[in-house]
Amino acid sequence: TQLLEQSPQFLSIQEGENLTVYCNSSSVFSSLQWYRQEPGEGPVLLVTVVTGGEVKKLKRLTFQFGDARKDSSLHITAAQPGDTGLYLCAGDNTGGFKTIFGAGTRLFVKA
């Protein structure tokens, strides 16, 4: 059974701080995605990484896929209250129809 473990489970920081959240597995994935979910809404895709070692940037967010394609990290620079939410990583080896999700990292950024 493939599992994705996310850490930390919960993070509360002050506005302006930097943070990194991690997504780890013992399995290799052909691609890995990061989603962000706000209360009362469904998850929304932030990024998909495909190549081992790949780094993608989305404004203040930097995503990295591990060289062995078993892990990923999300780094946020100068966090803002608008970054508050649940960050989910999701991995897949089936072309999309059996994507598995980690339990998520709940981020709270205080003004």
**CB within 8 Å of 82: residues ≥ 6 apart:** 109
From the CB of 85, what's the least distance to another protein, in Å?
A: 14
Q: Is 107 exposed, middle or buried (0-12, 13-18, 19+ CB in 10 A)?
A: buried
Residue closer to another protein (CB basis): 40 or 82: 40
Footprint on residues 23-62 left by another protein (CB under 8 A): 30-31, 33, 35, 40-45, 48, 50
Residue closer to another protein (CB basis): 55 or 78: 55
Taking CB under 8 A as the binding criterion, the range among 12-20, 55-63, 71-79, 93-101 that sits at the site for another protein is: 93-101
* Cα 99 to Cα 43, 56, 60, distances in angstroms: 13, 21, 26
End-to-end CA distance of the chain: 41
Footprint on residues 7-26 left by another protein (CB under 8 A): 9
From the CB of 36, what's the least distance to another protein, in Å?
A: 11
Tell me if 101 contacts another protein by CB under 8 A: yes
From the list 1, 27, 11, the residue with the least C-alpha distance to 87 is 11
Q: Which of 65, 66, 79, 102 binds another protein (CB under 8 A)?
A: 102
33, two tokens: 């995605």
